[in-house]
Amino acid sequence: MNQIDTLIEAGQRNFRREHEADWKELEALLKRIERRSVQALSVDEALRLPVLYRAVLSSLAIARETSLDRALIDYLERLCVRAYFIVYGVRTRAIDGILTFLRTGWAQEVRAIWRETLVSAALLFVGALVGYLLVRSDPSWYYSIISAEMAQGRSPSSSTAELSHIIYGGADKQGGVLGVFATYLFTHNAQVSIMCFALGFALGVPTAFLVVENGLMMGALIAVYAQHGLGLNLVGWLMIHGTTELFAIILAGAAGFRIGLATAFPGSQRRLTAAAAAGRSSASVMIGVVIMLLFAGVLEGVGRQLIQSDVARYAIGLTMLGIWLSYFYLPRGEHHRG
């Protein structure tokens, strides 16, 4: 028995002595990766990383079965957890991820929420129609739909000349601050659409409100211009950036509905799984929404003042719409994922 004891004790001591070098080596590599990035490693070190990770994982498995030194087991366990996230968690180069997203990922996720997109679009247009009809029937509705701050001097009591000046006379006034204006519009719209998406978590109800509200405001404004026979002119003015911006808002609303629906009605999946799956795909849509709003901001800030012809305005707006629609919905031979 005594001999066995000695053998066992020697085995324990040797276990640590034989493997400690590997542990320390992995720890040093991890420290460097975490301080900078995987790129901080040389090719040899990068190849060594998964080998060391598996070696330490195997040390941990042995230690759990043979050792009662808790500090040792904790050390190995934490080292393994850290290494696990590096070995299995570090993405390929960021640029590859971005290219894949632009090539297929974005359009795929947008197509995946086509039902929600239809609902969201319907809400926006119904909102616009209601806003239009309300203000046409009784102009005082305008004031309860659009706040003074949003109206910027446009109201049912404005003269035709005033209204017309806003949509055709911008260049002289705001020419100097185009860039600032575009940036402001972009950040503001992006913030609103993020909120629109996030509110989807409250089962989508506040998201629906926000989308309808956007529609109402648009409808009310068109009604004011229509009373002066400038309805189609206003639509052209809005259209330059509007097709892009409204599409983005519709998609943000749709992404919000998606997470609300998945959380409320997970279907055959577990609720947590359903919520996470919906969250991931709608997050991709939202990255796209921010990109679209960036385009819209530039179009609005620059195009509105510089492009005075109605025909050109319609042409730009419809072209942008055509580009987005074909980018998202035209099939491009990647039906089988992955």
Partner 1 sequence: MVSAVPPLRSSKARALNTPEGVDLTVEIASFGARIGAFMIDMICIYGSIIVVVLLFVWMNGDKLGDTAQNFLTAGFIIVVFVLRNFWFILFEMGARGATPGKRAVGIRVIARNGGRLEASHVVARNLLRDVEVILPLSFLFSFGSLYAMLGLGWTLIFMLFPLFNKDRMRAGDLIGGTWVIRAPRAKLFNDLSENEPHRQQYFAFTPAQIAVYGIYELQTLEGVLRGNDRKAIKMVADLIREKIGWYHGDDDRAFLNAYYAAVRAELEKGMLFGKRRHSKYDLPA
Instruction: Kindly identify the residues of this chain, within the stretch 25-84, that bind partner 1 according to CB under 8 A.
Output: 27, 33-34, 37-38, 54, 57-58, 60-61, 65-72, 74-75, 77-82, 84
Minimum CB distance to partner 1 smaller for 128 or for 298:
298
DSSP-derived secondary structure for 23-60: HHHHHHHHHHHHHS-GGGS-HHHHHHHHHHHHHHHHHH
Of 141 and 186, CB closest to partner 1: 186
Site for partner 1 in 87-116 (CB under 8 A): 88-91, 97
* Identified binder of partner 1 from the candidate list 41, 46, 86, 291, rule CB under 8 A: 86
> For residue 69, how many C-alpha atoms fall within 13 Å in the half-sphere facing its CB?
13
- Which is nearer to partner 1, 83 or 146 (by Cβ)? 83
d(CA 134, CA 303): 30
Q: Of residues 124-183, which lie at the interface with partner 1 (CB under 8 A)? A: 176-180, 182-183
Nearer to partner 1, 244 or 263 (CB): 263
CA distance 297 to 299: 5
Long-range contacts, stretch 87-95, CB < 8 angstroms, 24+ apart:
87/49, 87/50, 87/53, 90/38
CB of 29 to partner 1, least distance (A): 12
* In contact, 16 and 69? CB cutoff 8 Å: no
Of 86 and 151, the one with the shorter C-beta distance to partner 1 is: 86
Q: Annotate each residue in 214-253 with x if it binds partner 1 (CB under 8 A) or - if it does not, as one string.
A: ----------------------------------------
Nearer to partner 1, 233 or 263 (CB): 263
Residues 268-287 binding partner 1 (CB under 8 A) are: 272, 275-284, 286-287
Which two tokens mark 156? 């049912």
Print the binding letters for residues 5-24 with partner 1: x by CB under 8 A, - otherwise.
Answer: x--xx--xx--x---x--xx
- Alpha helices by DSSP H, listed for the chain, are 2-35, 43-66, 70-89, 94-100, 106-112, 114-137, 141-145, 148-151, 160-168, 170-174, 178-198, 205-227, 231-264, 271-298, 304-306, 310-329
Q: Is 4 in the site for partner 1 (CB under 8 A)?
A: yes
